[in-house]
Chain A
């Protein structure tokens, strides 16, 4: 069966510090991978998606970036965090060719102070 992991589970970072959140998927090959953010009082906003190694598409301009160095690894990064980057970050995957059904990881709660 497939599983998706995210770490860390929680993170408190000062403004201006860098960020690296990691997501890995097990039990599947060539998944589509996604990063979402859920901010307070808002729905889930798609930030990035990837259909393969090194292939990243951005949905929302921001100071975040994403990378996919391996087939089942997706990383969300920032060089300098802003207060507005606080939120709940979710990684998701979908089987190739079945993008409609996405399966989410446990999430990372990021607080920028």
Chain B
């Protein structure tokens, strides 16, 4: 049972345009969401996060939107740059699952290619 789903394994976007990466979740107890960026043969790096008490968080070119009723979040990158080409992982956690609060549940990732 995949609790965090990234249904698009890959996405190609022209440089300068907007990249939109989507993530859906099924566990209504999730209350904190993160996006990680990963280059090949490297560990993921934290990009941006959002708490369930918010519906939007912005950091420079990166904005994350959260729609709790739809159990959906998205990452917008504007404008997209070739250096943004990487795999993006969506992750979720819950503060209410006891020992499970240490666990981040990750999606399978979306490979973003920004074309110059």
Contact assessment for B46 and A103 in the assembled complex, using a CB-CB cutoff below 8 Å = yes
Separation of A42 and B41 alpha carbons in the complex (Å): 15
Q: Which of B6, B46, B95, B109 contacts A101 (CB 8 A)?
A: B46
- Is the interface on chain B under 10, 10 to 19, 20 to 34, or 35 or more residues? 20 to 34
Majority SS at the chain A contact face: strand
The tally of CB-CB contacts under 8 A between chains A and B is: 59
Contact assessment for B104 and A107 in the assembled complex, using a CB-CB cutoff below 8 Å = no
- Is the interface on chain A under 10, 10 to 19, 20 to 34, or 35 or more residues? 20 to 34
Q: Which of B6, B32, B44 contacts A104 (CB 8 A)?
A: B44
Query: A113 in the interface, Cβ–Cβ < 8 Å?
Result: no
Contact assessment for B43 and A102 in the assembled complex, using a CB-CB cutoff below 8 Å = no
Q: Give me the interface of B with A, judged by CB distance under 8 Å.
A: 4, 6, 32, 34, 36, 41-46, 49, 89, 91, 93, 95, 99, 101-104, 106-109
